[in-house]
């Protein structure tokens, strides 16, 4: 299992804390019992889940200039038309993907081209499933422009648990479709804003995979 580089410091801290706790338990209660074995098992399962969260699977990206890929793994929780008041300042198609703690949290570029706009917004930490999170939560906005001048925006949104957005791209960066953009630590949400003319290829509650699932197509 490949691990994202940003996960190693977290994994080291958590491993140290777990070892200290287990060592303290053994010092106070040196005689081994079923309770000890239960705690060992619980610590192993917890640590395995944290390691699994930072996994960075290889993905086979099928490059297609007409397609808009999902930037995240998760479930489609919204498909609607909304006015964007940050960059486009017009009505756009809005497709939102909710990422649970069980999903891969590496985000990917929905199209190839150039990073046209990027801005971090501090904010609140509503549960990511809540529609309010798109507007009020801590978030990072990125706009991509392809060689045809077509633009797509994504918002990486922190949730009640996910309080750290790590974005690895800045304005001017050249990117390929499906390139890794960064990671959101623990449960979160990624919104996609695409042109009204785009053809939607997904439906509500559908499970999607970042860099693989085609959310929409340019027309």
Active site residue ranges? 188
Strands 113-121 and 139-145 turn out to be antiparallel
| CB 204, CB 215: distance < 8 Å | no
**Which residues, at least 6 apart from 59, have a Cβ–Cβ distance to it below 8 Å?**
108, 178, 209, 210, 211, 212
Helix, strand, coil content of the chain in percent (nearest 5): 20, 35, 40
193: closest CA among 121, 118, 95? 95
CA distance 194 to 173: 20
Q: What angle do CA 205, 65, 62 make, to 5 degrees?
A: 65
Element housing 52 (H / E): helix 34-53
69: closest CA among 203, 192, 195, 219? 192
Q: What is the spatial order of strands in the sheet that 67-69 belongs to?
A: 67-69, 214-217, 199-200
Residue 182, CB-side half-sphere exposure with 13 Å CA sphere: 19
């Amino acid at each position: 299992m490949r691990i994202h580089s940003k996960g190693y410091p977290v994994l080291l801290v958590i491993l140290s804390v777990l070892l200290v706790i287990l060592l303290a338990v053994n010092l106070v209660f040196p005689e081994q019992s079923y309770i000890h074995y239960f705690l060992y098992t619980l610590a192993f399962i917890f640590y395995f889940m944290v390691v699994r969260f930072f996994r960075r699977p290889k993905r086979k990206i099928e490059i297609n200039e007409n397609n808009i890929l999902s930037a995240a793994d998760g479930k489609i929780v919204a498909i609607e038309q909304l006015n964007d008041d940050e960059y486009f300042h017009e009505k756009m198609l809005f497709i939102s993907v909710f990422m649970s703690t069980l999903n891969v949290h590496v985000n990917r570029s929905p199209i190839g081209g150039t990073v046209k706009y990027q801005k971090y917004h501090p904010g609140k930490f509503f549960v990511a499933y809540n529609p309010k999170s798109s507007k009020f939560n801590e978030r990072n906005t990125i706009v991509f422009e392809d060689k045809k001048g077509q633009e797509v925006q994504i918002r990486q949104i922190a949730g009640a648990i996910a309080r750290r957005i790590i974005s690895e791209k800045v304005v001017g960066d050249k990117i390929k479709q499906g390139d890794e953009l960064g990671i959101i630590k623990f449960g979160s949400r990624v919104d996609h804003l695409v042109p009204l003319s785009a053809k939607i290829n997904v439906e509500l509650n559908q499970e999607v995979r970042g860099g693989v699932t085609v959310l929409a197509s340019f027309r």
